[in-house]
Amino acid sequence: MERRTFSPRQGDINREWYIVDAEGQTLGRLATKIAAVLRGKTKPTFAPHIDTGDFVIVINAEKVKVTGNKETQKFYYRHSNYPGGLRAVALRDMRKTHPDRILQAAVRGMLPRNVVGEQQLRKLKIYAGPKHPHESQQPKELAV
């Protein structure tokens, strides 16, 4: 009997929409669950070389919780590619200006660093408040 490894095709991929309320959730623990759904690791048709994951909508991202002293001691770095262009922003300042980027940076670090990882990150929709424009997709509640 011949056995073959299953490799999903584009027609085999069935994408769902999930919604997550980040209020009171711990940042890292929430990010791991979201990354697994974006990658498609929760499906039996998972393949690391194909984007088989689902869409994830995150609401109330500004109310995500961090433990310890991360609010003042964790920094996000970026560089302008000019001499002396390194910028560091503390988590508390990032929460005031761009609260969605906190969760996006955490999830991005858990996805592969290639074209497939970029496709998976595009399926993540993060909103600081409780409103989102994806009601027509009828998202299901994701148990976190």
Dihedral (CA of 21, 46, 136, 141) sign: negative
Tell me the residue range of the domain where 74 lies: 15-141
Is residue 103 one of the residues assigned to a domain?
Answer: yes
Is residue 4 one of the residues assigned to a domain?
Answer: no
Is residue 1 one of the residues assigned to a domain?
Answer: no
Query: In whole angstroms, what is the distance from residue 94 CA to residue 39 CA?
Result: 26
Q: State the amino acid at position 119 in one-letter form.
A: Q
pTM, to two decimals: 0.93
Give 59-93 pLDDT, tens digit per residue: 999 999 999 999 999 999 999 999 999 999 999 99
The CATH number of the domain where 63 resides is what? 3.90.1180.10
Give 13-37 pLDDT, tens digit per residue: 999 999 999 999 999 999 999 999 9
Is residue 26 one of the residues assigned to a domain?
Answer: yes
Among 143, 119, 115, CA closest to 40: 119
Among 50, 55, 43, CA closest to 9: 50
Domain count, the chain: 1
Is residue 45 one of the residues assigned to a domain?
Answer: yes
Is residue 6 one of the residues assigned to a domain?
Answer: no
Is residue 34 one of the residues assigned to a domain?
Answer: yes
